[in-house]
Amino acid sequence: METAITVVLFVLLLATAIILGRQRNLFAASMLTGIFSLVSAGLFTVMEAVDVAFTEAAVGAGISTVLMLATLSLTEDVEAREKKISWPALAVVVLTGGALIYGTLDMPNFGDPHAVVHGEIARYYIDRSWDEIGLPNMVTSILASYRGSDTFGELGVVFVAGTSVLLLLGGRRSELPASGESPGHERPSSRPPGKRHAHVREMPVVRTVAKVMLPYIVLFAFYVQAHGDFGPGGGFQAGVILATAFILFGLVFGPQELVRHVPPERLERIMAVGLMIYGGVGVVAMLLGGQFLAYGVFTPSHPSHGHHYGIFMVELGVGITVSAVMIIIYATFATRRPSLAPQVVLDAEDRCETEVSADDVPLVPEERALRSGADLLAEGAAGTDAASEVPS
Amino acid sequence: MTLPNVWNYWAVVVLMMVGLYIVIAKPNYVKKLMGLSLFQVSVIMLYVSMGRVTGGTAPIYILDDGAPRPFVLYTNPVPHVLMLTAIVVGIATTAVGLALVVRIREAYGSSEEDVVAELDRREVEAANALAAQRAAESDASSATAAHAGASHEEHA
Amino acid sequence: MSEHLPILMVLVPLLSAPLVVFIKHRKASRVIATLACALSACAAWTLALQMSSAVSYPLGGWRPAIGIELRVDFAGAYVAAIVSTIATFAISLGTRGTREDVVGREMFFYAAFLMCVAGLMGMVVTGDAFNVFVFLEISSLSTYTLVAMGKERRALTAALNYLFLGTLGGTFVLIGIGLMYQMTGTLNAAAVSARIREVEHLRTTHVAFAFLAVGLGIKLAVFPLHQWLPGAYSQAPHAVSSFLAGTATKVMYFQLIRVVVSFFGVAYVFDTLHFGDFLLPLSLVAMFAGSLSAIFQPSLRRLLAYSSIGQVGYLTLALSLGTEAGLNAGLLHLGAHAVTKTALFLIAAAFIAQVGDDRLDRLSGLGKRYPLLSLGFVLGGLSLIGVPGTVGFVSKWALLEAVLAGGRPWLAFLILASSMLAVVYVFRVVEVLYFRAPLANAPPLARERADWGSWVPAGLLVLVSVGLGVWSELPSEYVATAAQSLFGGAR
């Protein structure tokens, strides 16, 4: 049964990947990346990697799809032209894939419980982490304590991502509209009025459902934050889910509105605080005479209590920084003032450049339909009318 | 020769290679980033596959009255921990890459690799031509300067 | 306190980065960043000079292999000291050469710089394979952004190309680590090298090494995988290109050494896998192709960048010998080239600040106008060539000795021949500086007065590179100990 499910999921993944490669409509392609992530999260669940599945679903299917849509509203949504099969690329791929297949030939059987990989350290964590740390979820024990420095570095990567996006895109925000106005509403649209879809912000159903859902998403985020010790979850997943609530708010009520309520200047500080909490816990342990991140010294008489405190604090730091960075990244993309420069394309000989609008690119009817649906999303994602960047 | 039971890894390798192909071959930057994240997710599958234990349950202690039940077969938790980090690295890279694509679209008016490369090539050519012209003018003006005083009307 | 030195040199820059973002003060952020780099350098030098054997630091208090272990041997302390010192020198340039929209948001620039330093330092000190990957990604991701902050729009494409290649490299490393972990069941360097004997006949192990080598090869800019380097080095802001030129490829080289020596073992890598036979031809091609391309570059920083590709060729050549003498030469050249190339990039920054352009022909005849700066460039260039009296000679001599000891005199000949190419590209700059008439129609110079921010660190580094060339026993002895302990533990 398990094998059958795995096979089906792999077939789905492969189909998604190949269609993704061939799809020239980038909105459709970004949806396909979301599908790919979601299906792979299913695969991880089948393979009992629940924490990985949870994170992949939240990050790959959620955040990264939204980011891609936000990017597409600032760039083009159609790949310029079909490219022939690239033989050098194919050669590299065949070589790399061949090497990996060659490497699998001496691997232990899939699922072999006696494989070396399940030996010493994995055995140690399974046998001893209950006594030494006392959390039901071994993954949390390992990532926050045994391998706490990896997670500290991982939080560093998140912090770098936030800093980088701010540095790259933070400089040019769209002007904040006066409150009460719905941005994007009064923008001139190149589309005839009759063809224009209702703006997502004008749909009462969407607005109401979003309003009802927001508190529950936030509540769920806190639950995941606190429950990471007992089941799948923890600071990272909680941070992403908390950010999702804000991103949903931004999608439905407009990113300007989000920025008005949650000023990025404040989020920048919050993003720094989380990393400092994590590092601070480690430094306090050093001051108390232990090593960096040696939580046991907090309560010398009963080290496992110290581990509970330490893990709680570092997970809190992770949650704070991750949620702040995710909101910052979304808000920075979504409030970036779109460039009005027309698209530059090269003609067949790569010699002279001509300027065409995205609307000139021939589309088959289904793609046209997809595009208008996608425009709707883009407007939600970026608060801009995607058509307005292309003067017709 | 008997092959080990590793078809699962082979499927992962195929997915990985589709991603790698998209990164290398597709000219559109956003598409390349999609391929990159496909590649990275497939690597996560590779790790998770190696952590799998047939019949093993998720690495969360099954508790009976506050103590873990003995003799339970758990999946290897280490690859899961490592891959949580890798997922985070993946989304961070995607975010930075997309931000760069937006900047490139603003600066070049295109997010296609071949168009941008062509524009870069022209920019370099123009700069070289300008420098050659400047050098020639410099020679000419120093020649005239030697004869009849400096004349700097030429603009650079 | 001193037992914490290995983690402190990573932690100081890593925690200063959020501090800088939190305080959000433009001037203060520069001061904090400089102080953090200097403190990290102090920690690294203290450790390097006082240690008597390899230092192990168990993070979280867990014993090695169960937890993550930091492990600093002589070579590690040496590389860490170089990286943090060069960071301190490079950051003195501040945000010079960045695009305008950095103005007012300098704290993010400094935060990214500090994270980059922390990532590289972390890679050097950690003794855990996966921890290497984490720190690698911290430094890479911040590098992409820092490169993109260059003035011209080409900086953006350079950064994105670097991101694609770098991420592929990082992911290859990740695959390699995964396969290595699958074969040995552990991630700790010492534990892996103890286990690798039992599995070294397996094909999976071979592939694990191949992926680690190719992944690090991309990051190290080994010849056919070097395409990201010229763009990244020549378009980045000055502080960033000075820092990267001296450290980024060097740290990756050190990682490659560790993968070969500490994880897989020299005997396996060279006798079973014949790694040297792959690396040697690539190194030779890099030495010639890099230097040849450098000769034809129109801009100063591109010239220096291509010269780096050639210099990486010497580094990998030294490693490909697979001997202790080779390792010794490689480590020496790592330090020598780091000091020299950073000095040259700092001087290039000073020139560009004066003439406002990094095209070589704009420097025509400026040798008399800026005598000290030009002299600095000449001395640095001599060290790049490997002229006696400079630190570049010390390392090149060690390389020649290593090659001759390996019984391959033709390699020694090729090294000398490629050094002749270095003579050509260095002399090309000298010719422009001293023997050409100043451009009659050049736009006026940006600054009349010297700008100490880049002159002082550049001058100091040039003095170091000459000083270490004269008192050559100082670096030689330390590195010889380092190579011996690294290699001795491996066989």
**Segment-wise mean pLDDT, segments of 10 residues, chain A, 392 residues:** 89 94 90 94 93 91 90 84 80 94 89 86 89 89 91 95 92 53 39 49 84 93 88 89 93 89 91 95 91 89 88 94 95 83 65 44 38 44 39 36
Domain range holding A30? 1-79
Distance, first Cα to last Cα, chain B? 75
Query: Among positive and negative, which fits the CA dihedral B102, B107, B111, B114?
Result: negative
Interface of B with A in 53-112 (CB under 8 A): 53-61, 63, 68, 73-85, 87-96, 98-103, 105-106, 108-112
Amino acid identity of residue C476, one-letter, is S
Which chains lie within 8 Å of chain C at 3 or more CB pairs, if any? A, B
CA dist C32 → A76, A277, B78, C12 (Å) = 41, 19, 37, 10
Ranking A174-183, C284-293, C470-479 by mean pLDDT, the lowest is: A174-183
Q: What is the pLDDT of residues C381-422, one digit of tens each?
A: 999 999 998 999 999 999 999 999 988 889 999 999 999 999
Residue A264 in contact with residue A329, Cβ under 8 Å?
no
CA dist C166 and C172 (Å) reads 10
Other CB atoms within 10 A of residue A160 CB: 30
Domain match, A138 and A52 both: no
Q: What is the pLDDT of residues C227-254, one digit of tens each?
A: 999 999 999 999 999 999 989 999 999 9
Residue C118 in contact with residue C14, Cβ under 8 Å?
yes
Q: Which two tokens stand for residue C174?
A: 């990740």
C81 Cβ neighbours under 8 A, 6+ residues apart: C41, C44, C45, C47, C48
Exposed, middle or buried: residue A231 (CB in 10 Å: 0-12, 13-18, 19+)?
middle
Domain match, A55 and A150 both: no
Domain match, A144 and A259 both: yes
Residue A172 in contact with residue A338, Cβ under 8 Å?
no
A48-66 burial, b at 16+ Cβ within 10 Å, e below that, comes to bbbbbbbbbbbbbbbbbbb
Other CB atoms within 10 A of residue C129 CB: 27
> What's the structural domain count of chain A?
2
Residue C433 in contact with residue C365, Cβ under 8 Å?
yes
Q: What is the CATH number of the domain that holds A50?
A: 1.20.120.1200
Structural domain includes residue A164? yes
Count of alpha carbons within 13 angstroms of residue A286, beta-carbon side: 20
Structural domain includes residue A98? no
Consecutive H or E run containing A61:
none
Q: DSSP for B73-107?
A: -B--HHHHHHHHHHHHHHHHHHHHHHHHHHHHHHH
Q: Where are the domains of chain B?
A: 7-59+71-111
Residue C448, pLDDT score: 54
CA dist A33 and A44 (Å) reads 16
Structural domain includes residue A15? yes
Query: C67 - beta bridge partners?
Result: C64
Domain match, A154 and A255 both: yes
SS3 content of chain B, % helix, strand, coil (to 5): 70, 5, 25
Residue B11 in contact with residue A17, Cβ under 8 Å?
no
Residue C481 in contact with residue C77, Cβ under 8 Å?
no
Domain match, A71 and A132 both: no
Q: DSSP for A357-374?
A: -GGGS---HHHHHHHHHH
pTM of the model: 0.91
Structural domain includes residue A96? no
Domain match, A127 and A33 both: no
Comparing CA positions, the residue from B100, B130, B131, B124 lying closest to residue B113 is B100
The confidence band for C6, taking pLDDT boundaries of 50, 70 and 90, is very high
Structural domain includes residue A382? no
CA dist C478 and A145 (Å) reads 36
CA dist C229 and C218 (Å) reads 10
The confidence band for C294, taking pLDDT boundaries of 50, 70 and 90, is very high
Residue C450, pLDDT score: 59
For residue A384, the 8-state DSSP code is S
Question: At which of A337, A355, A386 does a domain end?
Answer: A337
Residue C289, pLDDT score: 94
Maximum Cα–Cα distance across chain A: 77
Residue B147, pLDDT score: 58
Domain match, A152 and A273 both: yes
Exposed, middle or buried: residue B88 (CB in 10 Å: 0-12, 13-18, 19+)?
buried
Ranking A385-389, B145-149, C311-315 by mean pLDDT, the lowest is: A385-389
A73 touches chain B (CB under 8 A): no
Q: What is the rounded average pLDDT of the residues C280-285?
A: 94
- The shortest C-alpha distance from B144 to chain A (Å) reads 39
CA dist A320 and C72 (Å) reads 33
Comparing CA positions, the residue from C445, B101, C348, B31 lying closest to residue A19 is B31
Q: What is the rounded average pLDDT of the residues C361-375?
A: 85
CA dist C264 and C262 (Å) reads 6
% of residues, chain C, pLDDT over 90: 65
Domain match, A41 and A124 both: no
Q: DSSP for B21-48?
A: HHHHH--BHHHHHHHHHHHHHHHHHHHH
Ranking A358-372, B121-135, C371-385 by mean pLDDT, the lowest is: A358-372
Q: CA of C174: which chain B residue's CA is closest?
A: B43
Structural domain includes residue A88? no
User: For residue C88, is pLDDT > 60?
Assistant: yes
Domain match, A6 and A128 both: no
> Between these two residues, A363 and C134, which has the higher pLDDT value?
C134
- The shortest C-alpha distance from B115 to chain A (Å) reads 6
The confidence band for B144, taking pLDDT boundaries of 50, 70 and 90, is low
Query: A173 - beta bridge partners?
Result: A336
Q: Which two tokens stand for residue B52?
A: 């799998």
Q: What is the pLDDT of residues C148-190, one digit of tens each?
A: 999 888 999 999 999 999 999 999 999 999 999 999 999 999 8
Other CB atoms within 10 A of residue C336 CB: 28
Residue C336, pLDDT score: 93
Question: At which of A309, A337, A365 does a domain end?
Answer: A337
Q: CA of B24: which chain A residue's CA is closest?
A: A89
CA dist A237 and A235 (Å) reads 6
Which residue among B100, B127, B150 sits closest to C148, beta carbon to beta carbon?
B100
Structural domain includes residue A107? no
CA dist A368 and B136 (Å) reads 55
Is the domain covering B7-59+71-111 a CATH 3.40.50.300 domain? no
Domain match, A149 and A17 both: no
C269 Cβ neighbours under 8 A, 6+ residues apart: C209, C260, C275, C322
B8 touches chain A (CB under 8 A): yes
pLDDT, mean over chain C: 90
Structural domain includes residue A166? yes
Question: At which of A288, A315, A337 does a domain end?
Answer: A337
CA dist A175 → A153, A171, A259, C162 (Å) = 36, 12, 11, 33
Q: Which residues of C touch A286 (CB under 8 A)?
A: 4, 7
Contact assignment for C144 to B29 by CB distance below 8 Å: no
Exposed, middle or buried: residue A376 (CB in 10 Å: 0-12, 13-18, 19+)?
middle
CA dist C15 and A277 (Å) reads 10
Q: Which residues of C touch B85 (CB under 8 A)?
A: 130, 134
Q: Which of A52, A59, A149, A236 to mutate to probe the B interface, most B CBs <10 Å?
A: A52
CA dist C236 and C51 (Å) reads 36
Which residue among C21, C112, C207 sits closest to A103, beta carbon to beta carbon?
C207
- The shortest C-alpha distance from C263 to chain A (Å) reads 17
Q: What is the pLDDT of residues C39-55, one digit of tens each?
A: 999 999 999 998 888 89
